[in-house]
Copies of this chain bind each other. A is one copy, B any other.
């Protein structure tokens, strides 16, 4: 089969990628004196990033989900990174309480909709007689917190490269044309939108900012507005970024390892991908904060304010490695996934 294609779009994200050996080959080509070595692929730029460009993720910001083993007895773990301030703090406080109370233990994956989401929580939540009681003290978070107008996080958009140590900067690619926002970029390692969509709507102004529904992002299921959800029902995006959900629902984090344990589950056959029978649901053994998990490795992400990230993002927008004949000249924000790996 044709192993050279399609290239590994997400090799940089893979904990088991071949990027190191690919990099070694590139170096060998240079050492051998070939006139024009292939420009580095994005995964090779990430592999070559200096140690100082990586930011360790505190264990207290991790959520570890253990699913029941698969049909062959293989354990299935999913690791989630929670978002930092100022985004979604009310819901994230609730999620910390739910995890601390071990509330999700014995709940299940209840919904898998192709090219959309995997959703988990209490499979009996709709039946008052059977619903699992929530822990006391969960906050009711207002809709206004889907976005933030905290001006301390908003930095004017610019096309300059970003350098190490600059805080809260927005990284730009090409003309940065986005169908959903005035501009988009990265803030402290997260994909963030600023300002309104193709036409400005309601009270949204350029100083509003909100997180983006990219592949792997985790959000809070809710009922009809003004309900905003507690955080007990969570979902992860497993398809093309459903950006129309931005500003309509709370995003609280992203899956950084083991998403294949969710994205490859059988699709539900009822409307919206819900399973037709309880037997089809995948049991959740436990969900814990990282600080409660003994064997948890450390994780780190590539600083979105580093030179390495700027080069990586530029290469994602303009592939120049051997496979490509036509660099795109731009990139969708969700096609520039922030590299995350086990700490090295």
Contacts and interface: CB of A to CB of B under 8 A. Distances in A.
Nearest to A184: B179
B233 A1 contact: yes
Given A176-B198, A215-B239, A259 B114 contact: yes
22 contacts: A1-B233, A1-B274, A2-B222, A2-B223, A3-B126, A5-B221, A6-B242, A6-B272, A7-B272, A8-B273, A17-B271, A114-B260, A115-B259, A174-B199, A176-B198, A179-B332, A201-B326, A201-B327, A240-B332, A243-B335, A244-B324, A248-B326
A146 B326 CA distance: 10
Nearest to A221: B2
Contact of A199 (B243, B325, B329): B329
Interface stretch (A25-33, A163-171, A282-290, A314-322): A314-322
Main secondary structure on A side of the interface with B: loop
Interface string A191-229: 000001111111010000000001110010111110001
A71 interface: yes
Nearest 4 A/B pairs, CB to CB = A174-B198, A197-B329, A198-B330, A18-B271
Contacts of A150: none
Contacts of A259: 114-115
B1 A119 contact: yes
Contacts of A173: 179, 198
B216 A115 contact: yes
B10 A114 contact: yes
- Number of copies of this protein chain within its complex: 2
Given A197-B328, A201-B326, A239-B215, A116 B244 contact: no
Contacts of A7: 272
A256 interface: no
Interface stretch (A48-56, A262-270, A296-304): A262-270
A271 B8 contact: yes
A131 to B, nearest CB: 9
A117 B122 CA distance: 32
A45 to B, nearest CB: 15
A244 B174 CA distance: 13
Contacts of A8: 113, 116, 271-273
Interface in A106-132: 110-117, 119, 121-126
Contacts of A272: 3, 6-8, 11, 18
A6 B271 contact: no
A199 to B, nearest CB: 5
Nearest to A16: B269
A143 B323 CA distance: 13
Contacts of A10: 113-116
B1 A122 contact: yes
B263 A114 contact: yes
A157 interface: no
Nearest to A331: B179
Given A115-B9, A199-B175, A328 B244 contact: yes
